[in-house]
Amino acid sequence: MSARLTLRAEDHDHGERVDVVLARHTDLSRARAQHAVQGGRVFRRGIAVDKPSLRVESGDTLEVELSDPAPAEAAPEDIPLRVVFEDEAIIVVDKPPGLVVHPAPGHPSGTLVNALLHHCDDLTGVGDALRPGLVHRIDRQTSGLLVVAKSDAALAALQPQFAAHTVRREYWAICARVSGPGLLDQGTFDTRHGRHATDRKRFTGQRGTRRAVTHYSVLRRFEEGAMLVACRLETGRTHQIRVHLSEAGAPILGDDLYAPPAVARSPLVERLALHARTLGFTHPDGRTLDFEAPLPDDLTAAIARLDKGASWRR
């Protein structure tokens, strides 16, 4: 549940940062105000604010969505895990679709982190209390590989690799051309990434200050413009592949956020047809590790149906 709070900036607020104004006129701390901005839950004149440093003008209407607070820390839960690799420093798992990665408002339990805390005796206290050991994440409906640090030293070794974009990550997606010329056999998306101007849940490659780069290759082509596409991440922005494919006119099947209804409700899949297939990085002890997770049964079945000429349309 969430509520929306509305306020109007006064003359003495003119030129102040939006997080300062929110903290001044509400019960929010400045840190919570910044978190609300970063979560796309603050709007000025009806448009989502994309940075806490935005300067407010006198008379501006500000709205902030107040979500129920997340739990202070995650608790262990006996949830099955698909462990691909584990040693004293790290654990690599193959996340099934539908499993949220970490607790948050609306998902206080039943997450991958809860499962990891039950599986790993030594994970508690590694980094953030709600995200212990996490150095990256994938969407709830995306399946595939994640690496988690089991110690502060391992976390310190892995985080710079993700920040420097040296981690090797490839995703496979089933998508469909709905507009434009379609995808070349291979290419690169290189855009500026930011939150959508009016929809707080979405991102776009048309605005923003962060660079987003995806290299793609079309692995298979099917009837009616359907494709199996391999996407190699150079950067790792939120929803990056979903945004790039959608804005190229080839959204992912089952994507109810970025795809038109015909694609979002494809009869071939019951979730986002995106899978984190490969993951490679340097182990904290210096070894080079590479992992691969085969496509799960639902995506394999969808491809088999496409091979037989099935339509992706409902």
Among candidate residues 248, 260, 186, the one with its CA nearest the CA of residue 218 = 186
d(C-alpha 181, C-alpha 212), whole Å: 22
Annotated active-site residue in 13, 19, 139, 255: 139
d(C-alpha 205, C-alpha 269), whole Å: 26
Structural contact between residues 264 and 252, judged by C-beta atoms closer than 8 angstroms: no
d(C-alpha 240, C-alpha 220), whole Å: 21
CA 203 to chain CA centroid, nearest Å: 10
The pair of structure tokens assigned to 221 is: 């082509």
The pair of structure tokens assigned to 142 is: 């995306």
Beta partners for residue 42, in sequence order: 64
Beta partners for residue 215, in sequence order: 188, 232
CA 281 to chain CA centroid, nearest Å: 19
Structural contact between residues 216 and 193, judged by C-beta atoms closer than 8 angstroms: no
Other beta carbons within 10 Å of 198: 10
d(C-alpha 211, C-alpha 188), whole Å: 13
Among candidate residues 158, 310, 299, 117, the one with its CA nearest the CA of residue 226 = 310
Contacts of 84 (CB under 8 A, 6+ apart): 92, 93, 94, 145, 291, 293
- Respond yes or no: is residue 139 known to be catalytic: yes
Contacts of 222 (CB under 8 A, 6+ apart): 228, 306, 307, 312
Q: Which are the catalytic amino acids?
A: 139
